[in-house]
Amino acid sequence: MRMRLVVLMVEVEQPEGISARKLILETARHNVITAYSGQGAFELLRRFPNVDLAVIHTEIEDDAFERTVRQLKKVRADLPIVAITPISGQQAKDVDYVISSFDPQLLLQLLAERFEAATSDEIEPSDN
C-alpha cells in the first residue's frame, strides 16, 4: 500500500475557498495543512516540521514566492517543494518540481511517481 503524506499547502486563494488541489489531496487521504501566506507557511512548518513536502500555488516570478521558498528551506533544507503555476514552462530556483495549475490530477500523479504516495484510485472503502 502506498504512503499517505502530510502536505503543507500554500494557497493564494482566499481562506473561505477550498481549492481543488486541497480537495484532491484530501480525497486521496493525505493530510493537508494550509497556509494563505508565506509567513503563515513558515510558522506552520516551524510548528509541524515533519511534513513530507510543501506545495505552493503561485506565479513563480513573484518576489513573495522566492521569500517563501527561502523561509521554508531555512526551517528544513531537505523539504521537497512543488510549485504549481498557471504559466507553463516556468522554472524556479530551489524548487524540486514545477507543475501546471490547470490540471489538479497532475499533483497526485507527481506524488505517486516521486513520493510513492496514494492516489484517489487506491482508496479503500471506509468501514464506517
Q: Are 33 and 48 in contact (CB under 8 A)?
A: yes
Cα separation, 74 vs 42, whole angstroms: 9
pLDDT of residue 31: 94
Q: Are 89 and 3 in contact (CB under 8 A)?
A: no
Average pLDDT, the chain: 83
Does the pLDDT at position 94 exceed 90? Answer: no
Task: Using pLDDT thresholds of 50, 70 and 90, give the confidence band for residue 93.
Answer: confident
Q: What residue ranges define each of the domains in the chain, with the CATH number in brackets?
A: 6-121 (3.40.50.2300)
Please, what sign has the CA dihedral across residues 101, 106, 108, 110? negative
pLDDT in tens, 34-75: 998 889 999 999 999 999 999 998 876 678 888 899 999 999
Angle subtended at Cα 11 by Cα 59 and Cα 27, rounded to the nearest 5 degrees: 125
Q: What is the mean pLDDT of residues 106-113?
A: 91
* Beta strands at 81-85 and 31-35: parallel, antiparallel or unpaired: unpaired
The structure's pTM equals: 0.84
- The better pLDDT of the pair 124, 39 is held by 39
